[in-house]
Amino acid sequence: MDNNRDKKWYVIRAIGGKEKRVKEYLESEIARRNLQDRVSSVLIPMEKYYQVRNGKKISKERNHFPGYVLIEAALDGEIIHIIKNITNVIGFLGTQSGDPVPLRESEVNRILGKVDELAEQEEEINIPFYVNESVKVIDGPFNGFKGTIDEVHEDKKKLKVMVKIFGRKTPLELSFMQVEKE
């Protein structure tokens, strides 16, 4: 009997903000009870995002599905009982009766694909800029200046911004990270 074939991915509902605690409790409980053959993965899908603070780009992570923890396991009564009794666990995502319903293969691949993609992602800034939009320079020698976007170079993540310097319009080439929308 292949143990891996019996394992499916399930979604555990956790109290918001306590997902990491739930993951830690689960992993320690699995190790303590020697259940690694029945539970192979506990996962919190994270996404990277970037912020500019004091002119420096800071990489941060946030939970991609707040309030949920994914688990790959062969669930039977004992495992279900152990998981439901973990501190900060609300229960399983599933039917009205609270019975765990496994994720479909396509959902798992999408979620895990998204996780891999987010982990590999160098830098993705999800702030679309538009021509004629007003922006404020937040980094570099022109910090604090306001201007209007003249050109957007999505591929290079650069903007050409027209800024008034000494009463004259001057074009500046800035990265997406050096400006913020007004």
pLDDT number for residue 48: 75
Whether the Cβ atoms of residue 149 and residue 160 lie closer than 8 Å to each other: yes
Write the burial class of residue 55 (CB in 10 Å: 0-12 exposed, 13-18 middle, 19+ buried): exposed
- What is the reported pTM? 0.60
Residues 6+ apart with CB under 8 A from 171: 150, 160, 161, 162, 163
Decide if domain 134-181 falls under CATH 3.40.50.10470: no
Whether the Cβ atoms of residue 19 and residue 66 lie closer than 8 Å to each other: yes
Strand bridging mode 89-92 / 68-73: unpaired
Domain extent listing, the chain: 3-120, 134-181
pLDDT tens digit at each of 182 positions of the chain:
445 558 999 999 999 899 999 999 999 999 999 999 999 999 998 877 776 777 677 777 888 888 999 999 998 878 888 999 999 999 888 766 667 889 888 888 887 777 666 665 555 555 678 899 999 988 888 888 999 999 998 888 889 999 998 889 989 999 888 888 88
Q: Fold identical between 3-120 and 134-181?
A: no
Note the CATH number of domain 3-120: 3.30.70.940
pLDDT number for residue 78: 86
Q: Tokens 């050409």 label which residue? A: 160
pLDDT number for residue 8: 92
Is residue 29 classed as helix, strand or coil in its secondary structure? helix
